[in-house]
Structure 1
């Protein structure tokens, strides 16, 4: 089968489309014919060698964790899906014609493969960090980097819970945030003053999604470092804030994502889609950090077998 691999750390150009053996599920896993795969910030950070202390990689390596597709093999002990089911989930080496998933959920009606592929890690992350700050309805949340996949999920879920959201993004993405239900502002110098003008009663918690050096500002705005969580700035503990990057119950998060979409709460648009052969361009696009929605890789199917 065709899959994306890299044999050294480096820029997007180290990614190559190669022929590899098909994977097969172990007990408790399923295999899918991948129709779309999500591109996450962690993917390019691992490829660039920036995460070797946290996520050791044996080279050559595949890439990608989020996929949506059709189940074509079921491992021993799996009883909740069968061959032919449409699922989205998390596994390994998702940028390939076939991928093995460790956690999954059935896709609700009306959810495309492309959009579903953008859900797993962003929605799990959004649910996890919202749980850490634990805000009640009527409270105010600052989200730094609100227009990407994780930010989009955070804004929609928080708004559904009755939380007021102030989100930072580039000026070009302010209208996108308004459509999500957030109060937008730009990032950069003067952030504290801009947010205080928008929230004269104060900010109850802050989430740093983009990792752009705003943790100190977030602490200043909340007045309590325990109410600041970053998913991308590993210096956050120096300010008394927390870093969260280890997933908890991914399967439960996927089921919740399916429910939220089915109820009309959650929609993460696909901003850009690339074919498998252009996976390097897809990761480069994600790496710019200015998306309004998700970047995905698509794989038309079914894949013919010899």
Structure 2
């Protein structure tokens, strides 16, 4: 039977990855070819365990989520409130947490759960009556503060979505640091800050830095970091000496930073630990 409002989700537990772990979980039309992985042919979509890629009606996958191994649960469902004639939103999960979603065309017969296996010894357990509930994000429930979004704060105060430098600002070395709790990933690869108040000299910098970056250093000044500085438009890449890069930024400007990941890039756990977002402020500045 196809997925429907009353039965909109299913899960597959990987019992054995076999030789290559080439297991695909997804949705296919009623008369899908049984000798093809789900997602390879038109009107089908699937999340594949061996490479973490999403296949959406083609044999060429796109980077989508983490790889899956023995013991992992791969889930697939449709958002029941978005079921319309001709198109629906399909989402995938790993161990109960949503990986991502995609809009796909759907025929009148609907979309049917499917599992593909492609090497010797692969074994899975299927639960067609599985249930999944969206987990509430604690940070989304914060009313007066977003401090949970930040892994480290130094001389920076959080007020709602604003960051304000509260240090003394007596010298160029008196830096306040706000470092995000989560790193950039292939699914969340960009962020922005708006300069609400430039303070005395607009000594504002945003960029990327390793997780254990010094708390009193601008991003870009020390090894393992890179940053664009608003006051002089320079880029600093692991050194206190900057290079001409772009225009200076002022009150009201929006500065952004992101990563252009290669299509076949896989961000492993170690990589995620090294790519924490950083923005820092010295002087009295608020950001949003």
> Please, what TM-score do these two structures have when normalized by structure 1?
0.28
Q: Which has a greater percent of strand?
A: 2
Structure number, greater radius of gyration? 2
Q: Which has a greater percent of helix?
A: 1
